[in-house]
A and B are shown apart, each in its own frame.
Chain A
Amino acid sequence: MSDATSTGPMLAADGTPLKRSLNRALRAQKLRALMLIAPLLVFILVTFIAPITDMLFRSVENQIVSDTLPRTTRALEGWDHNSGELPSEDVFAALTYDLVAAAERKDHTRLGTRLNYETTGMSSIFRKTGRRIDDFGETYMDQFAEATPDLAAPETWVTVMADPGWRADYAAWEAARAAARETGRDFDRPPPLFRLKNGVADILPEAADVYAEFARIAQVENGDNPAEEEPWAPVYLALYRDLMHVGPGAIERLDDASRATLAPAHDAVAGFQSERLADLYLDADKGWGEPAIWSTIQAFSSNYTPGYFLASVDLRQTADGVAMQDEDRRIYIMLFERTLFMSLAIMGACILLGYPIAFLLANLPLRTSNVLLILVLLPFWTSLLVRTSSWKVLLQQQGVINDVLVWIGLVDNANRLVMINNQFGTIVAMTHILLPFMILPLYSVMKTIPPTYVRAAKSLGASNWTAFWRVYFPQSVPGIGAGCILVFILAIGYYITPELVGGTTGTFISNRIAYHISSSLNWGLAAALGSILLAVVLLLYWIYDRIVGIDNVSLG
């Protein structure tokens, strides 16, 4: 043995230091384990975790307001909701441009529904106004048509507003389409999207903005050529407002063709009969006169909102901060409480019924207990719907239990018991469904309790009860804990059974989530309620993992 080897690191067979060699082996082992796990992990992340995360995002998403009313939300920034006054004409004009586009795209009713979650009446206001919005500005349209007949022609607007490059592109596209039609070829190239002329937006900011929106909607939504479509009345409103603001110098900066049309129009607008937009709105729906409507739009103009979460706990967001929900709309706290209460009741019933059974099974000879265990496992393996439907058969007023009670004379035929479509029905059916989840963990814990302890206690003079209560019971507590958390986790998120036997008083928060997804279409609120429920379940899951360990779950 040389000095070098005795002081140097220990070497493996191939001459590398043993420590490094072991490390490498360990890394390889870790890598191999991860490679085996990776496919499933990716699978679960994509098919399960991603959908849930995606849904959680819905609970705070609120782009619909700023997407549908971009101009209005910007214009409202300067408005003070505490002033008690209505916003300025500029805000009304911005709302007109937004609404006419939204109504054309058919987005305004959806926005109304969204805002109605926050303030009652919004939906009907948006619907009523949406029906009239394309008349707003008609006065100006008529007056322009009289003063400068050119402006009544769609082609003029394209001359004034459109980028010559776009017009050339569009013409080329039309030619290509015509050629394709002639030869019978398929033609599915989309037309080039409308582009504004350079500089026109500086001189006529509102008119250019609204006209561009109009042209693009005409192209995209209806497949029309903007040069053949008469602009909306609000486009004329925008032109009127622009021309009232700009001086003749600005018109001079326009190109010749535009100037020819707009110079006389500019001279004429001063003499136009004007009309207050606010009056038009109040005429469509007097709700617009209430500052609360405007402050709701203002309060919900950001892209993300805590509004749905607030609504899930019976609060609401107002321009002045958080407030209680109107009394007649407060139900969610009550529903969460009911869900908790019923889950606890089911858990309690499961302990009461499960403990004796687990005790019996744990203390019978193996052969007998295995046979009896099948009686516990059979319901566990039977379709949930089968069990729910049989409870329906049993609990109805004309059902088996009532029939039996009437037959033995305990209950009068006219006063049959109401045991279904209420909390009782849900608790009974769910106790039955979840009972195996209590018995199995209890049983596996009780099997490990050595019978000698109880015998020792008795031989030392303890009564049966004392021996059970002071010696046996404390050792079975871990089983109770595991069973309780399992039953509670499963109960709190139940949907099918309460839906079928719960009526209106025996339903859970899950049923409300389903209602918001498929009936009321308030997906944000459904997501927020779901997030809260999920948080509760994950907390319990974490506790369960601490106490029992998730890999120790036994499935019979």
Chain B
Amino acid sequence: MTMKQLLSATALAALPAGALFAQDLPPCENCADSITAVSWGGAYQTSQIKAYAEPYTALTGTTFTWDESSNEAVAKLRAQSEAGNITWDLVDVEGPDSQRLCDEGLAMEVDHDEILAAGDDGSAPTDDFSDSVINDCFIPQIVFSTTFGYRTDVSAWNGNEPDNLCALFDLETFPGKRSLEKRPKKNIEWALLCDGVAKDELYDVLSTPEGLERALAKLDTIKSETIWWSAGAETPQRLADGEVVMGSTYNGRLFSLIVEQNQPVKMLWDWQVFDFDGWVIPADLPEDRLNRVLHFLHFATDTQRLADQAKYISYGPARASSQPLVSTHADLGIEMAPHMPTNPENQKNYLVNNIEWWADNQDDVEARFQAWLAQ
């Protein structure tokens, strides 16, 4: 028995009962022994480490290096590919970014049914993941929502509490600073919804030259009261510090702020934007690193692993077969299902980004939005 095997065997013994055993995992031939994974940092990355990376390391001895660069993934992958020196093995990105990486040939196209594990119920991966497979490069992990949190102790609100999204634009009833993402996506959709545009017509209106200006005009009404964020943890931090009274962020971040850290903050499930997050593999990886990544992905996206991730953060697994396995929070022991974006209670009024529209118009809208922001 080699040292490595010994180590992984002892690590395995420490795993809780019901965990996976080494014999379930096929051996990895001609595989690198480390993975450089790119993710978003914070609680989300921690959940990935706990649910996927640590068990995998225990079974195979593979070491992980994490890079918190997901929000600059497209730029950095492009620079790496221009230089012909790909240093990343696996990149966690949002749906629209994966589209862009796939379009530019920076991410590898995969055959989902071939490389991923079948569901526990025997369903084929493409059926099990169904809608979340948004393009040929994207290997889905979670469903998340971008939604709003607000402080519950704002004296200037005279006891009122927001009950819908458009409170965001109501400076009279709900004065105070807002925290919004420094990107047009989601913000312009919300602005139009609160300006009276129906959900079905949203992207038709946005496709007209006046549509975008109308959204920006609506955002103009709160521009002076807005602090812009670029990292998902900024809004929770500002809410906790009392720097803002309400703000948009990912539902998992709000969950940890409210439930784990007990801050006087509440979350709004209204017009939250439904989105997918998942892995892409950089194109043109050397064979041994690619083999390792594929071996890891097969493990990390199976039914049990995706359900395990929900123990650490309130994002819904992208596999249908994982849903029934979602259990309780790893430390607090509370039921996680009610906090998931996939919970029917939370899905009364929601929005899905039109990924194709965004892929086509991103460059224009982004340029206009950034100019608007600077003016």
The secondary-structure label for the interface of chain B is helix
Q: Mark B104-132, 1 if CB is under 8 A from A, else 0.
A: 11000000000000000000000000000
In the complex, residue of chain B having the shortest beta-carbon distance to the beta carbon of A109:
B103
A396-B241, A518-B75 known; A106+B103 contact, CB < 8 A: yes
The reply to whether A329 and B72 contact each other, CB–CB distance below 8 Å, is no
* Smallest CB separation, B65 vs chain A (Å): 20
A317 contacts chain B at the CB level, 8 A cutoff: no
A123-B360, A123-B364, A128-B360 known; A503+B227 contact, CB < 8 A: yes
The reply to whether B368 and A116 contact each other, CB–CB distance below 8 Å, is no
A398 contacts chain B at the CB level, 8 A cutoff: yes
B74 contacts chain A at the CB level, 8 A cutoff: yes
- Of B78, B103, B242, the residue contacting A127 (CB under 8 A) is B103
* Smallest CB separation, B156 vs chain A (Å): 6
A252 to B227, CA, bound (A): 74
B362 contacts chain A at the CB level, 8 A cutoff: yes
A110-B104, A328-B372, A331-B374 known; A396+B243 contact, CB < 8 A: yes
Q: In the complex, how many residue pairs between chain A and chain B have their CB atoms under 8 Å apart?
A: 77
Interface residues of A in 431-469 (CB under 8 A from B): none
Interface residues of B in 145-169 (CB under 8 A from A): 155-156
Complex interface: chain A residues within 8 A of B103 (CB)? 106, 109, 127
A106-B103, A124-B361, A127-B360 known; A397+B243 contact, CB < 8 A: yes
In the complex, residue of chain B having the shortest beta-carbon distance to the beta carbon of A285:
B360
In the complex, residue of chain B having the shortest beta-carbon distance to the beta carbon of A415:
B156
The reply to whether B104 and A106 contact each other, CB–CB distance below 8 Å, is yes
In the complex, residue of chain B having the shortest beta-carbon distance to the beta carbon of A503:
B227
A396 to B240, CA, bound (A): 13
A512 to B373, CA, bound (A): 12
The reply to whether A124 and B228 contact each other, CB–CB distance below 8 Å, is no
The reply to whether A120 and B367 contact each other, CB–CB distance below 8 Å, is yes
Complex interface: chain A residues within 8 A of B78 (CB)? 521
Complex interface: chain B residues within 8 A of A330 (CB)? 371
- Of B363, B370, B372, the residue contacting A113 (CB under 8 A) is B363
A410 contacts chain B at the CB level, 8 A cutoff: no
A504 contacts chain B at the CB level, 8 A cutoff: yes
* Smallest CB separation, B206 vs chain A (Å): 12
Complex interface: chain A residues within 8 A of B367 (CB)? 116-117, 120, 329, 520
Complex interface: chain B residues within 8 A of A512 (CB)? 374
A123 to B373, CA, bound (A): 22
Complex interface: chain B residues within 8 A of A116 (CB)? 363-364, 367
In the complex, residue of chain A having the shortest beta-carbon distance to the beta carbon of B100:
A109
B366 contacts chain A at the CB level, 8 A cutoff: yes
The reply to whether B368 and A328 contact each other, CB–CB distance below 8 Å, is yes
A517 to B78, CA, bound (A): 11
Complex interface: chain B residues within 8 A of A396 (CB)? 241, 243
- Of A106, A520, A521, the residue contacting B105 (CB under 8 A) is A106
Complex interface: chain A residues within 8 A of B364 (CB)? 116, 120-121, 123-124
Complex interface: chain B residues within 8 A of A504 (CB)? 182, 228, 373-374
The reply to whether B75 and A519 contact each other, CB–CB distance below 8 Å, is yes
The reply to whether B72 and A518 contact each other, CB–CB distance below 8 Å, is yes
The reply to whether B363 and A517 contact each other, CB–CB distance below 8 Å, is no
- Of A109, A117, A329, A518, the residue contacting B104 (CB under 8 A) is A109
B23 contacts chain A at the CB level, 8 A cutoff: no
B334 contacts chain A at the CB level, 8 A cutoff: no
In the complex, residue of chain B having the shortest beta-carbon distance to the beta carbon of A520:
B366
Complex interface: chain B residues within 8 A of A531 (CB)? none
* Smallest CB separation, A336 vs chain B (Å): 12
Q: Mark A403-429, 1 if CB is under 8 A from B, else 0.
A: 000000000001000000100000000
A414 to B177, CA, bound (A): 12
A396 to B243, CA, bound (A): 7
A507 to B373, CA, bound (A): 11
In the complex, residue of chain B having the shortest beta-carbon distance to the beta carbon of A115:
B363
**Contact residue range for chain B?**
20 to 34
A282 to B76, CA, bound (A): 35
A110 to B75, CA, bound (A): 12
- Of B74, B243, B361, the residue contacting A521 (CB under 8 A) is B74
The reply to whether A334 and B375 contact each other, CB–CB distance below 8 Å, is yes
B359 contacts chain A at the CB level, 8 A cutoff: yes
Complex interface: chain A residues within 8 A of B374 (CB)? 331, 334-335, 504, 512
A127-B103, A519-B75 known; A328+B156 contact, CB < 8 A: no
The reply to whether A520 and B370 contact each other, CB–CB distance below 8 Å, is yes
A515 contacts chain B at the CB level, 8 A cutoff: yes
- Of A112, A329, A414, A517, the residue contacting B75 (CB under 8 A) is A517
In the complex, residue of chain B having the shortest beta-carbon distance to the beta carbon of A414:
B156
A397 to B228, CA, bound (A): 16
Complex interface: chain B residues within 8 A of A127 (CB)? 103, 359-360
A116-B363, A331-B374, A334-B374 known; A521+B75 contact, CB < 8 A: yes
* Smallest CB separation, A502 vs chain B (Å): 11
Complex interface: chain B residues within 8 A of A518 (CB)? 72, 75-76
Complex interface: chain B residues within 8 A of A245 (CB)? none
A335 to B373, CA, bound (A): 12
The reply to whether B363 and A519 contact each other, CB–CB distance below 8 Å, is no
A403 to B374, CA, bound (A): 31
A24 contacts chain B at the CB level, 8 A cutoff: no
The reply to whether B370 and A398 contact each other, CB–CB distance below 8 Å, is no
Interface residues of A in 387-404 (CB under 8 A from B): 396-398
* Smallest CB separation, A398 vs chain B (Å): 5
A105 contacts chain B at the CB level, 8 A cutoff: yes
In the complex, residue of chain B having the shortest beta-carbon distance to the beta carbon of A121:
B364
A329 to B374, CA, bound (A): 10
A399 to B364, CA, bound (A): 39
A503 to B177, CA, bound (A): 13
Find the residue from A105, A117, A124 having the highest chain B CB count within 10 A: A124
Q: Mark A501-530, 1 if CB is under 8 A from B, else 0.
A: 001100000001001011111000000000
Complex interface: chain A residues within 8 A of B155 (CB)? 414
In the complex, residue of chain A having the shortest beta-carbon distance to the beta carbon of B228:
A504
A512 to B374, CA, bound (A): 10
* Smallest CB separation, B297 vs chain A (Å): 22
In the complex, residue of chain B having the shortest beta-carbon distance to the beta carbon of A422:
B227
- Could you list 10 further interchain pairs (A-B, Cβ under 8 angstroms) beyond the known A121-B364, A503-B228? A112-B363, A116-B364, A116-B367, A123-B363, A328-B372, A329-B368, A331-B371, A334-B374, A398-B242, A521-B75
List 12 interface pairs A-B (beta carbons < 8 Å), by A numbering. Answer: A105-B105, A109-B103, A112-B363, A113-B363, A116-B364, A116-B367, A120-B364, A123-B361, A124-B360, A398-B241, A520-B367, A521-B75
Which residue numbers of B lie inside 8 Å of A, CB to CB?
Answer: 72, 74-76, 78, 100, 103-105, 155-156, 177, 182, 227-228, 241-243, 359-364, 366-368, 370-375
> Which 3 A-B pairs have CB atoms at the shortest separation, nearest pair first?
A106-B105, A123-B363, A124-B360
